[in-house]
Chains A and B, each alone.
Chain A
Amino acid sequence: MTDAALSRTSAAEPPSLYRAVPAVLGLAKLVLALATVAPLLFMLSVTFKNQNEMFTMNLIPEKPTLANLTYVFTQVNFLRYLWNTFFVATTVTVVALFFHSMAGYALARLRFPGRDAIFLAMFSTFLVSLPVIIVPLFILVKALGLLNSYAGLIIPSIFNAFGIFLLRQFYLNVPREIEEAAVIDGAGYWRIYWSIILPLSRPMLAALAILFFLANWNAFLWPLTITSDENLRVVQVAVASFQGQYTASWNYIMAASTVVALPTVIVFIIFQRQIMESIKTSGLK
């Protein structure tokens, strides 16, 4: 820890001027952090401003109004869009975690021919990003008759090597003895997976569930491409299309943005430790 080391050295050195350094640095960091979140505070502030007040510099609206939010929920079918997004994100998360933990378990704990080749093949899809394959994927999904359907929104989003990889790593570190007892008791593989492996990986699954849900809540490109039916619209697409409909009515657009951003920000405030920890560890290991 360089920082810790440094502050200790500067404290050990005599001049009292250096004493002020940590305080000044702390203040500077705080100012920088506040500047980072300022655009989001601005969005929140405009949500409660009326159109005339929008571009004033005051962060607290002079005459706070709920009109923008009411507009979003009454003039536009926003509840429907929220429900669609929630339904898709939740389904993808649950199904993906189920499949990924199954695959991760087999790839880490079971021995069968071709296992490493299968893992390598799965892992290589890591390099495939959506924009690169969106044309063939669109054609494929269209051929399967999934255009403009929940299935089209959900199914392709389930399969992602990232989750398999992390769960496999996790299962590799589970001690063998835990399974051995179950094997002696005559449990089959499904039983071992369901009653031993799955409960053991609860913290890992929880962290991944948050990440998957967030990623799917914020997904834009795929829903934009695969749906044109208004009833299937997700919030991200809805907000983006607001822009065209309400040019210059930034107060409505910011109100809708706040509604879309709030759930993920709340999830973050509750689970910040888990989210940041899982990203930190998924980086390299």
Chain B
Amino acid sequence: MSRPSSTPAARKAAGFRLSARHREWVAGYLFVAPDAIGLFIFAGLPMLLALGLGFFTLDGFGGFQFSGLANYRRMFVDPLFLQSLKVTLAYVLMLVPSLYIVGLALALMVQKGSALNAVIRSMFFLPQMVSLVVVALVWQVLLVDKIGFVPKMTGFLGLGGLSWLGDPDLALVSVVVVSVWFLMGFYMLIFLGGLQDIPKEYYEAARMDGAGYFAQLRHITLPLLRPTSFFVLLVSTVAAVAGGQAFDLIYVMTKGGPANSTSLAIYYIYQQAFQYNEYGYAAAMASFLVLLLMAMTLLLFVLTRGGRFNYD
């Protein structure tokens, strides 16, 4: 390593006459620097700021004023924020289990390596490739009252009068259905990865003992999928509460309506910030959401014992 080379680290090292060990240090820092600095400025710093911003009132034009807990107090008497929390909870409670079941069912369905299954897997995954803006627009057309494809189909079942996006009781369900349609391919793949890691010998042994399909599912597949299940539940919960996906869908499909029935917390927060210039208030609500998310994660961790589900 004595020969001079053209690397910036080495040149720098030669100038300062560093030892080989220190040269490695310098090289390490230089290699990490662009990402470390960038991540700090565009992720770490905003995160820290988010926690403090809630204590200020911002007017959106650079003026700000310390307002203590005012934003936080306002939060709990704001009926629209409380409503948005309720909507978020309902969204999570409907979406997360549905995604878990649908994702796992699809994975089990197309698990066997055949040509047909490969094609079908790709078809299930295809919605993931399309942006949520487009997804939202397409489903809006499909769900148009009376003349859309879905109302026409449900009309055959005698449910023609349903207004999928216009009825406050149905709008969130519609959003959940579209979310599942969009996301199921992703979770199918995650489950496929998990299923791959289960040793085949277990199934062979179970079959020797005369275990049927559902017995194998219950006693082998599900227990051995615990780490995957934990990952799926965690990621889908976080995404449902604070992910960009839910925001995009709501922004285009329903704008939070009708009657705030689909106004998710992240959407309401965004509205407060960028439509009403209530940056401080939005930041306060966002930090509350982060706290809530951390509590949820912890709860999930405890409930599932860190991914070790107890089926026995």
Chain A interfacial positions (CB closer than 8 Å to B): 1-7, 9, 26, 29-30, 32-34, 36-37, 39-40, 42-43, 46, 55, 57, 99-100, 102-103, 105-107, 110-113, 115, 118, 121-122, 125, 127-140, 155-156, 158-159, 161, 164, 183, 186-191, 193, 214, 217-218, 220-221, 224-225, 236, 239-240, 243, 250, 253-254, 257, 260-261, 264-265, 267-268, 272, 276, 279-281, 283-285
Give the most central of B1, B42, B47, B228: most A CB within 10 Å.
B42
Contact between chains at A29 and B203 (CB < 8 Å)? no
- What would 24 A/B residue contacts be, using CB atoms closer than 8 Å? A2-B216, A5-B204, A26-B116, A36-B127, A102-B35, A103-B34, A112-B25, A122-B35, A122-B36, A128-B47, A133-B47, A159-B35, A161-B43, A164-B35, A188-B6, A188-B9, A220-B131, A220-B133, A236-B131, A240-B252, A257-B134, A257-B137, A260-B131, A283-B231
B301: CB under 8 A from chain A? no
Interface residue from B1, B58, B192 paired with A186 (Cβ < 8 Å): B1
B159: CB under 8 A from chain A? no
Known contacts A1-B203, A135-B286, A187-B5: A276-B122 contact under CB 8 Å = yes
Contact between chains at A111 and B24 (CB < 8 Å)? yes
Interface footprint category on B: 35 or more
Contact between chains at A140 and B45 (CB < 8 Å)? yes
Interface residue from B2, B129, B152, B207 paired with A268 (Cβ < 8 Å): B129
Known contacts A29-B109, A102-B34, A220-B133: A2-B203 contact under CB 8 Å = yes
B86: CB under 8 A from chain A? no
Q: How long is the Cα–Cα vector from A158 to B42 in the complex, in angstroms?
A: 9
Interface residue from A5, A131, A140, A253 paired with B247 (Cβ < 8 Å): A131
Interface residue from B31, B42, B129 paired with A106 (Cβ < 8 Å): B31
Contact between chains at B137 and A218 (CB < 8 Å)? no
Contact between chains at B50 and A39 (CB < 8 Å)? no
Q: How long is the Cα–Cα vector from A34 to B120 in the complex, in angstroms?
A: 8
Q: Annotate B111-136 by CB proximity to A: 1 below 8 A, 0 otherwise.
A: 11100110111111111011111100
Residues of B within 8 A of A40 (CB): 126-127, 130, 138
Known contacts A140-B41, A155-B42: A129-B242 contact under CB 8 Å = yes
Contact between chains at A189 and B7 (CB < 8 Å)? yes
Residues of A within 8 A of B97 (CB): none
Contact between chains at A254 and B141 (CB < 8 Å)? yes
Residues of B within 8 A of A156 (CB): 42
Closest 5 CB pairs of A and B: A190-B7, A112-B28, A188-B7, A106-B31, A136-B49
Q: How long is the Cα–Cα vector from A132 to B43 in the complex, in angstroms?
A: 10
B68: CB under 8 A from chain A? no
Q: How long is the Cα–Cα vector from A96 to B81 in the complex, in angstroms?
A: 37
Residues of B within 8 A of A188 (CB): 1, 5-7, 9-10, 27
Residues of B within 8 A of A121 (CB): 36, 39, 44
Known contacts A37-B126, A133-B50, A134-B273: A218-B132 contact under CB 8 Å = yes
Contact between chains at A268 and B126 (CB < 8 Å)? yes
Known contacts A1-B200, A129-B242: A186-B193 contact under CB 8 Å = no
Interface residue from B25, B49, B120, B131 paired with A33 (Cβ < 8 Å): B120
Interface residue from B34, B110, B113, B213 paired with A6 (Cβ < 8 Å): B213
Residues of B within 8 A of A254 (CB): 137-138, 141
